[in-house]
Amino acid sequence: MTPQLGWLVPLPVVLPLFAAGLALALWRRGRAQGVISVVALSLALGASVTLLVAADSGPVVAELGDWAAPVGINLVADRVSTLMLTVSFAVTLAVLVYSLAQGVEDDNAETPVAIFHPTYLVLTAGVADAFLTGDLFNLFVAFEVLLAASYVLITLGGTGERIRAGTVYVVVSLLSSLLFLAAIAVVYAATGTLNLAQLALRLPELDPGLRLVLQVMLLLAFGIKAAIFPLSAWLPDSYPTAPAPVTAVFAGLLTKVGVYAIIRTQTLLFPGGQLDDVLMVLALATMLVGILGAVAQNDIKRLVSFTLVSHIGFMLFGISLSSEAGLGAAIFYVTHHITVQTALFLVVGLVERRGGSTSLDELGGLAKAAPVLAVLFFVPAMNLAGVPPFSGFMGKVGLLEAGVADGRPLALVLVVGGVLTSLLTLYALVKAWNKAFWQPVPENLRPVRLPRRMVGSTAVLVSFGVIIAVLAGPLYGYTERAAVLLRDRGQYVLSVLPDGQRGEGHSADTTRDPSAQAASTPRDVTGEGVTP
């Protein structure tokens, strides 16, 4: 327990929000805005890294306004959330540098700084809040914050194509938010609380049928955000039209926030894996349908978007095993996928810049024309496909091992499906490589110099993906410990509600509800997380 670090927990949310206001106020000074954004995100990254180290010895809890937990809203930084937080801030910082360079190059045509920077900072604040929050309604607010920012970013500039793609994206996202809100209403009606720790105590007392309804409603809402197969059709159509840095950060973070919400609610609120079989089937369908879509594409941006859908299936695979090995591998996979998918979208942005198109038919000969770009594409592409020295390979091996260890027939089918998906990913990306980087150089290829800072920030992100592979040992250990913590719900509940009733903040004791007094103590939950 490190209570003296509690003040650090809100910083990853507060700093970007504060900076967003400041950046908006200074909308005439583009350079100042850039400095503000970089400084705010760097500080938030620093805070996240500190929390990452601190959370390894126990969850760090902050009660906002010092209101005691079930009444007040709390932020909980445990192993999973701080790991997600650190990776996401590292990625957003790299993308910010990329977009700054692009803004300077293009005279801000693609990313008008006055709007872009405040919105981008609000997006990162929303993502951070979603990772940290310990309250279901606050999770909804965090989703709305990041979605509202994403609506602005995806329609940036308001061109016809972006409005067309944005319309679908906005309407689908709003619908998922409404589903989430309805789920919150039913959860509150059934349990009288929205604090995640208190829900973990009260949900087991509910009727199993009602609990299943709640689980399905929440899964549906998060499934749309995470782009799980039958609910994924919106993604490959809306992402590719946005500017490259925006697509990159969306692809890296927004779907993963949905995956994180699924991990959190499935482990903390609904342990026991009632829906595991359904999740397994969905994981298989997501992997296969997604990758078959990617194989059929002839536009490199859409191709990469489809691989994104497909690889969400891998994370769902790990979650659906509901074992420590599966969950640990899934968290490792999320970490790997955030960096590699973002890097790949940034590289595709550079490819579009250099080759003048995203259609694989019109691209060609880039390996000769831009060898550095070829290396930058090749590394994350192979990483995504899961070719051995890289982190994608380790994540996939972890998942496959967990699947084989599980031993159920459906899990074994998923193992085969996972291998098949990896091969098809390799096929799709090699096809893209062959068409865009080999082939004769097209005659009308204009000599474009790629801005050094854009290449530099992409290179940093690509090498970050490689570093994950180098540090895979300690990182994998961390994700496994995170998975153990997730499955041991008692520790989470105890750190939020030390006596099983209230948090450590100060608020007058007004609960006279006798049922609350009779509620089970955390000791009862400790054993329940582990299923035989």
Residues that bind other proteins (CB under 8 A): 137, 141, 144, 148, 151-152, 155, 158, 160, 163-168, 170-171, 174-175, 177-178, 181-182, 184-186, 188-189, 236-237, 302, 510, 512
CA pair distance 205, 226, nearest whole angstrom: 29
With vertex at residue 193, the alpha carbon angle to CA 188 and CA 194, rounded to the nearest 5 degrees, is: 80
DSSP per position, 87-103: HHHHHHHHHHHHHHHHH
Minimum gap (Å) between residue 532 Cβ and other proteins = 35
Minimum gap (Å) between residue 263 Cβ and other proteins = 24
Q: Which is nearer to other proteins, 14 or 152 (CB)?
A: 152
CB proximity list for 451: less than 8 A, separation 6 or greater: 101, 102, 104, 105
CB proximity list for 217: less than 8 A, separation 6 or greater: 179, 182, 183, 186
Distance, C-alpha 453 to centroid of its chain = 25
Q: Which is nearer to other proteins, 11 or 170 (CB)?
A: 170
Q: Which is nearer to other proteins, 181 or 460 (CB)?
A: 181
Shortest CA distance to 465 belongs to which of 381, 396, 401?
Answer: 381
Q: Which is nearer to other proteins, 64 or 181 (CB)?
A: 181
Minimum gap (Å) between residue 443 Cβ and other proteins = 27
Structure tokens belonging to residue 526: 């400790």
Q: Which is nearer to other proteins, 144 or 504 (CB)?
A: 144
Q: Note whether 313 and 229 are within 8 A (CB).
A: yes
Q: Which is nearer to other proteins, 88 or 155 (CB)?
A: 155
Minimum gap (Å) between residue 125 Cβ and other proteins = 15
Minimum gap (Å) between residue 462 Cβ and other proteins = 29
Minimum gap (Å) between residue 164 Cβ and other proteins = 5
At how many degrees (to 10) do helices 452-470 and 79-106 cross? 160
Q: Which is nearer to other proteins, 45 or 123 (CB)?
A: 123
Q: Which is nearer to other proteins, 250 or 464 (CB)?
A: 250
Backbone angles phi, psi at 483, to 5 degrees: -65, -40
Minimum gap (Å) between residue 185 Cβ and other proteins = 4
Minimum gap (Å) between residue 313 Cβ and other proteins = 19
CB proximity list for 132: less than 8 A, separation 6 or greater: 9, 10, 12, 13, 75, 76, 77, 81, 85
DSSP per position, 238-270: HGGGS-HHHHHHIIIIIHHHHHHHHHHIIIIIS
